Amino acid sequence: MTTAQTNRRAPVDLGPRPKRWTVEEYVRVADTGVLSGQRIELIDGEIIEMSPQSSLHAALVGITQAVLTRVLGHGFWVRVQMPLCISVSSEPEPDLTVVRGCPRDYLSSHPETADLAVEIAVESLLFDREVKSSLYASKAVAEYWVVHAKDRKVEVFREPGEDASARFGFQYRRRFMVGKGDQINTLLAPDVMINVDELLP
């Protein structure tokens, strides 16, 4: 076989490939109602199905929202399970995010980042600790909490920075765990201590 014949070979067929979605496409499909009633979010071009929301999960979301609203007060919006437009291919819906301002500041678009994101991990612990942490770090979310519902602990992630080994090229440099009897503060209100017991079942 000559070199010319080799160069004319048809490309190797690797078989079917999954469709990777953009946020624009995802929103357009969602607007048709096809995805109505499903607990899903777009992560890195993939539509991810979230676990059904248990009573424990729902209660801890409400408890955490109440604590953060009390601690932060005026000037911050504690959002519950609303989109965060991270990139053209990722629009996660964290259990809670804290952004500056009020709802009227976001009438025309979802926020692209947040000062604090919180996930309540009942069945999603590994995904929340590894994939979500890298995703939020990539958008410079300054602080990220994972509430370990079953182990009754809160894992705190701070200081986002580049990390080539992480899923999205970023990860938090500082991670630590707190549990019952401990206290924690948020970077948004460093002088206000929160009893961790308040956040746990």
In a domain, 172, yes or no: yes
In 3D space, the residue among 179, 171, 15, 22 whose CA is nearest the CA of residue 86 turns out to be 22
Give tens-digit pLDDT for 2-60.
Answer: 555 555 565 665 666 677 778 777 677 767 776 776 788 889 888 888 878 899 999 99
**Lowest-confidence range among 28-32, 101-105, 159-163?**
28-32
Q: What is the CATH number of the domain that holds 163?
A: 3.90.1570.10
Domain that holds residue 143: 52-199
Q: Could you give the percent of the chain with pLDDT greater than 90?
A: 70
Q: Please check whether residue 83 lies inside any domain of the structure.
A: yes
Q: Which segments within 19-84 are labelled E, that is strand?
A: 40-43, 46-49, 76-80
- Cα 131 to Cα 5: distance, rounded to the nearest angstrom: 45
Q: Are 83 and 135 in contact (CB under 8 A)?
A: no
Task: Pick from 22-26, 28-32, 65-69, 72-76 the range whose average pLDDT is largest.
Answer: 65-69
Q: Tell me if 168 is assigned to some domain.
A: yes
> What pLDDT does residue 23 have?
76
User: Domain for residue 138, yes or no?
Assistant: yes
Model pLDDT, residue 67: 98
User: 106: how many CB neighbours lie within 10 A of its CB?
Assistant: 14
Q: In this structure, is residue 26 part of a structural domain?
A: no
Residue whose C-alpha is closest to residue 44's, from 168, 170, 128, 146: 168
Segment 76-94 mean pLDDT: 94
d(CA 188, CA 201): 24
Residue 157 lies in a domain: yes
Overall number of domains in the chain: 1
78 closest CA partner among 192, 201, 194, 188: 188
Check residues 112 and 8 and name the one with the higher pLDDT. Answer: 112
